[in-house]
A = this chain, B = another copy of it.
Amino acid sequence: MNAAPASARNDRAGVVDAAMRVLAENGVPGLSMRRIADVLDVQVSALYWHFPNKQTLLAAVSERIVALADEAPDAAPDLAAIATTLRERLLAQRDGAELVSSSLALGLLELPSRTRLEAAALAAGLDEASAGIAADTVVHYVIGYTFHEQQRMHAAVVGAADASVDLAPAQIADSGDTFDAGLAMVVAGVRAAAGAHPGEGIASRSR
């Protein structure tokens, strides 16, 4: 299986590597098939042997972005912790949220975090249907927030040269706190759904 000449031939992983490099340097607007081919020193058409089209290639990039680093022992599943980890993965790559959002919407990507969020919601006491909805709700919040954040980061860079837009530095600096505050609301809402269903009344607060 490894008798192939290691010289100029690429595989899917290599193409994704190249795409990640183009993404880091040029962002989504500059992530073209031709640019990826250039990095690999190959014709554009060569990419179509590895992937049927650009969206599928982008989905493979997205998959790498959201791949969980730790397959290790899962501590108690915690909604906020899983959401925060997802956000960090998205932030680690330029335009990560945009890429993942689009791959997800096209049904070309499965989100490992979503499975974990669903498990956490179940563990918190939600029924199966509600747990799925809760997981999606958290995912929409995280991706929506981070997408917005990353686009504004880019706008800030362009705007700096442009001198037409200026964001207060504080507005950017404390975006982590703002994310956490919004996340806390969503998580509180999910917890409220846990209390509502199985118990007998609306206000069966055990804590």
Contacts and interface: CB of A to CB of B under 8 A. Distances in A.
Oligomeric state, in copies: 2
A113 to B, nearest CB: 14
| Most-contacted residue by chain B among A130, A178, A182, A188 (CB, 10 A) | A182
A178 B133 contact: yes
A46 B22 CA distance: 34
A155 to B, nearest CB: 6
A137 B186 CA distance: 8
Interface residues of A, number: 35
Interface in A34-73: none
Nearest to A195: B188
A120 interface: no
Nearest to A104: B148
Interface of A: 101-102, 104-107, 130, 133-134, 136-137, 139-141, 143-145, 147-148, 151-152, 155, 165, 178, 181-182, 184-190, 192-193
17 contacts: A101-B147, A102-B151, A105-B152, A134-B185, A136-B145, A137-B141, A137-B186, A139-B144, A141-B186, A143-B144, A184-B189, A185-B193, A186-B186, A186-B189, A188-B188, A188-B189, A189-B189
List 6 tightest A-B contacts by C-beta distance, closest first.
A189-B189, A140-B144, A105-B151, A185-B189, A144-B144, A137-B182
